[in-house]
Amino acid sequence: MEKFVNTGNKDTRSGFGAGLTELGRTDERVVALCADLTGSLKMNTFAKEHPDRFFQCGIAEADMIDVAAGLSLSGKIPFAGSFANFVTSRVYDQIRQGICYAGTNVKIAASHAGITLGEDGATHQVMEDIGMMRMLPHMTVINPCDYNQTKAATIAAAAWQGPVYLRFGRPSVPNFTPENQKFEIGKALRMTEGRDVSIFATGHLVWEALLAAEELEKKGISAEVIDIHTIKPLDTEAVLASAAKTGAVVTAEEHLIAGGLGELIAGVLSRNTPCPVEIVAVDDLFGQSGTPAALMKQYGLDSEHIVSAALKAVSRKR
């Protein structure tokens, strides 16, 4: 089985910051907006290097989204950033009308997504955002898995024509994908090749899925781990091909079951080639305060739960 090496823990938001910094230096069309969380979003370097292209919006996210839409008309490529909760549920209608229906070329930079926002608690932890964003026509939804991939995804988002929701996180997590990788929006990445079960994971759960695959290998089960960094448009071809080969599926995401990757993939499979699907996600609950690691364990978002889900999916095969 392919082995992945953690080259040192890093936060994915810093990957976004690095990508934005590079874009700032290479593409004059790129502008950035933030709602009083510039440091948290790692947008400081861009703001410092390009004060004319950085717009502090204050704690006024609705305004920020539509200002970004207005800026895009003249050909600018705006990245509008805040915590994921505050650039989704708080401003859903602004995104719907000003970005998606308008088809404006705005990139929403959503940091501190999911439960690993941690100690601030449920008011700040959004686990519904993937569902909300993927329901919107014209929206592209990207949830990269580590620092290197987030940096690459940021650069790819700028080159993509149309609205993008770019989701990343707060905590330091393993960095294991290649530096300066090519990031292809809408193309799933097969991390390990396997025969018995397919594990479709996104975001922070990709690393956990790789750990789970190692555990499963010890139990004699060959797992195929696929990084679904682009949730919309979903690489249905890759999903169907892997599921057809293994006949059992596990999905893993830092999100509610409702509206998430698991439901999405289960839907695709049920309409094409039905097979057992086990979903590793949070079932209809708000989060709570705690360290990111403690919360992942508490809410069942770790390799241990992926292993259990895989065993169950395999056992359900006819």
Binding residues (CB under 8 A) for other proteins: these are 31, 52-53, 55, 57-58, 60, 62-76, 78, 93-94, 96-98, 101-104
Euclidean distance between CA atoms 307 and 314, whole angstroms: 11
Cα–Cα distances in angstroms (integers) from residue 199 to residues 37, 87, 194, in the given order: 34, 29, 10
* Other beta carbons within 10 Å of 51: 10
Q: Which residue number, 30 or 191, has a Cβ lying nearer to other proteins?
A: 30
Q: Which residue number, 38 or 303, has a Cβ lying nearer to other proteins?
A: 38
Closest CA to 171 of 207, 218, 216, 214: 207
* Other beta carbons within 10 Å of 66: 19
Euclidean distance between CA atoms 84 and 111, whole angstroms: 5
Beta-carbon contacts of residue 315 (< 8 Å; ≥ 6 apart): none
Kindly state the smallest distance separating residue 76's Cβ from other proteins, in Å. Answer: 6
Which residue out of 2, 22, 28, 61 is catalytically annotated?
61
Q: Which residue number, 98 or 262, has a Cβ lying nearer to other proteins?
A: 98
Q: Which residue number, 65 or 209, has a Cβ lying nearer to other proteins?
A: 65
Structure-block tokens of residue 127: 């686990």
- CA pseudo-torsion sign 315, 115, 79, 183: negative
Kindly state the smallest distance separating residue 28's Cβ from other proteins, in Å. Answer: 9
User: Is 61 an annotated catalytic residue?
Assistant: yes
Closest CA to 266 of 300, 313, 223, 209: 313
Structure-block tokens of residue 76: 């600018």
Structure-block tokens of residue 85: 């909760």
Kindly state the smallest distance separating residue 58's Cβ from other proteins, in Å. Answer: 7
Kindly state the smallest distance separating residue 51's Cβ from other proteins, in Å. Answer: 12
Kindly state the smallest distance separating residue 134's Cβ from other proteins, in Å. Answer: 19
Euclidean distance between CA atoms 125 and 303, whole angstroms: 21
Q: Which residue number, 48 or 245, has a Cβ lying nearer to other proteins?
A: 48
Cα–Cα distances in angstroms (integers) from residue 218 to residues 198, 310, 317, in the given order: 16, 13, 20
Q: Are strands 277-282 and 249-256 parallel, antiparallel or unpaired?
A: parallel
Contact 130, 260 (CB under 8 A): yes
Q: Which residue number, 68 or 265, has a Cβ lying nearer to other proteins?
A: 68
- Catalytic sites, residue numbers: 61
